[in-house]
Structures are given as structure tokens and as C-alpha cells.
């Protein structure tokens, strides 16, 4: 099989930034969602939650690349070098507020195969996370999960997801998990196994969304947890 050359390394952007009032800042992926299975050679959408530089003007770049084994998102920002301008804030803050986060959809390049096979989905991660390998810019990269590439008829019933999460119990007694970077005010995702919460607080969780045979907390679309660490 021919090598995949769908690589978007931010070299050109970095050179342009050096000659302007912009500078390059690496980003980290705190949450990722993507189809569990896709068809060969067809690009597919990937949801990313990426904290962005607060108080600055910036342009986001997903920094996506693909090779024979994995798709990697190494996002970065082109940030204006001018002094930051932040809106006024209340001085007495008693709770920790989440970092402002970009909720966006990136496009993974089509993965050409001759037989069905699996590719890893990877993303730049914060330095305190387990990191199997460094990215080109030095930011650690970790595996979020995998995607199955088929010649035809991919199963579209599941959507894989992974990232930093915490869990909470809502006012109906239902256990839900939320990405740490999720700041839209939503309640999060219903956990399929309501008793499986050990080690889920501020953990890196992997799993998938699917339609459960039996509703959980009145919902059929639930999050099935595969692992946490």
C-alpha cells in the first residue's frame, strides 16, 4: 500500500509567523470524538475540544497528519504578539473556572486501505499526561483510541470518544460524565454502567457512544466506558 502523504505540518505557518506580528503556540486536545468505523479513502469529521489562548487574538490550525498507522491532531494557534487584553473579572473568585475552550470539528484525511484494518487516533496532550511519543514540536502525543477503516459498509452506530473527564450525579440521581473542557453548561453524557465510577474523577477516559438496548436514566444514547487512567 502506498504511503499516506496527507501531512499538514505547521512549517509554513511558523515561517510566516516569524515574519509578522504572530507567534505560534502549541495546543492540546482535551477531548476527541470520531466515527468508530469509516470507509476507505474518505475524509471524516473529528470533534476536538482545545483550550485556546485567552485574551489574545488568534487563528486556530488543527495540525492534522496521517501515516500508515495513525491519524494525529497536533493543534496550534497563530497568536498576535500584542499585549493581552482581558475583560474585567470579579476579584473574589472562590471556584476554579475552566480554561476557555474551542469546540471545533477537524477533518481527518481519507485512509486508503486494500483490506479492512485499524488505525490509531492520536492527539497532542498536556505534559502531565502519559505520552508514548513526542510530537515534532515537543508536545507529548497520546493515543485516544482507534478507527476501523473498511472497504465499504462501515458500522455507523458507534462513535468513539476519549479525553479528560470528571463525573457527577444530576438531580435525578443519574451518573453523568463530562469532559473537563466542556463549558457549554450541559449536564454531560449518561454513563451506561451507573456503578462504574471508581477512578473516573479527573481521569483520561476512553469509550464510545451507542444506543443501549435498555434505556439508562431514560436515555438510549449512552457512553460505554472502556478504560480510564
In a domain, 86, yes or no: no
Same-domain status, 169 and 71 = no
Q: Which residue range is the domain that position 52 belongs to?
A: 11-81+92-154
Same-domain status, 133 and 164 = no
d(CA 200, CA 164): 9
Residue 55 has pLDDT above 90, yes or no: no
In a domain, 224, yes or no: yes
Residue 207 has pLDDT above 50, yes or no: yes
- 210-215 CB contacts, 8 Å cutoff, 24+ apart: 210/157, 210/158, 210/159, 211/157
Note the pLDDT of residue 113.
Answer: 98
Same-domain status, 117 and 64 = yes
**What percentage of the chain has pLDDT greater than the value 70?**
77
Which strand (E) or helix (H) includes residue 11? helix 11-18
In a domain, 5, yes or no: no
Instruction: Report the first-to-last Cα separation within the chain, whole angstroms.
Output: 35
pLDDT single digits (tens) 29-43: 999 999 999 999 999
Note the pLDDT of residue 186.
Answer: 64
The region of weakest confidence among 47-51, 100-104, 135-139, 156-160 is 135-139
pLDDT single digits (tens) 12-33: 444 444 456 888 999 999 999 9
Question: How many CB atoms sit inside 10 A of residue 34's CB?
Answer: 24
Amino acid at each position: 500500500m502506498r504511503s499516506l502523504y496527507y501531512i499538514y505540518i505547521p512549517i509554513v505557518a511558523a515561517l510566516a509567523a516569524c515574519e509578522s506580528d504572530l507567534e505560534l503556540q502549541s495546543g492540546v486536545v482535551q477531548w476527541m470524538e470520531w466515527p468508530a468505523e469509516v470507509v476507505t479513502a474518505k475524509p471524516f469529521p473529528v470533534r476536538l475540544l482545545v483550550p485556546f489562548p485567552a485574551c489574545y487574538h488568534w487563528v486556530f490550525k488543527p495540525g492534522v497528519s496521517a501515516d500508515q498507522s495513525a491519524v494525529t491532531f497536533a493543534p496550534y494557534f497563530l497568536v498576535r504578539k500584542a499585549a493581552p487584553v482581558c475583560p474585567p473579572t470579579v476579584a473574589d473568585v472562590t471556584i476554579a473556572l475552566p480554561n476557555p475552550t474551542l469546540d471545533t470539528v477537524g477533518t481527518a484525511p481519507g485512509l486508503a486501505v486494500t483490506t479492512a484494518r485499524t488505525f490509531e487516533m492520536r492527539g497532542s496532550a498536556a505534559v502531565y499526561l502519559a505520552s508514548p511519543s513526542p510530537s515534532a514540536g515537543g508536545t507529548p502525543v497520546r493515543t485516544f483510541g482507534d478507527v476501523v477503516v473498511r472497504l465499504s459498509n462501515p458500522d455507523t452506530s458507534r462513535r468513539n470518544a476519549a479525553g479528560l473527564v470528571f463525573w457527577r450525579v444530576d438531580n435525578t440521581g443519574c451518573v453523568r460524565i463530562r469532559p473537563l473542557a466542556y463549558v457549554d453548561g450541559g449536564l454531560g453524557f449518561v454513563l451506561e454502567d451507573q456503578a462504574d465510577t471508581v477512578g473516573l474523577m479527573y481521569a483520561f477516559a476512553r469509550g464510545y457512544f451507542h444506543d443501549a438496548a435498555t434505556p439508562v436514566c431514560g436515555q438510549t444514547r449512552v457512553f460505554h466506558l472502556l478504560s480510564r487512567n
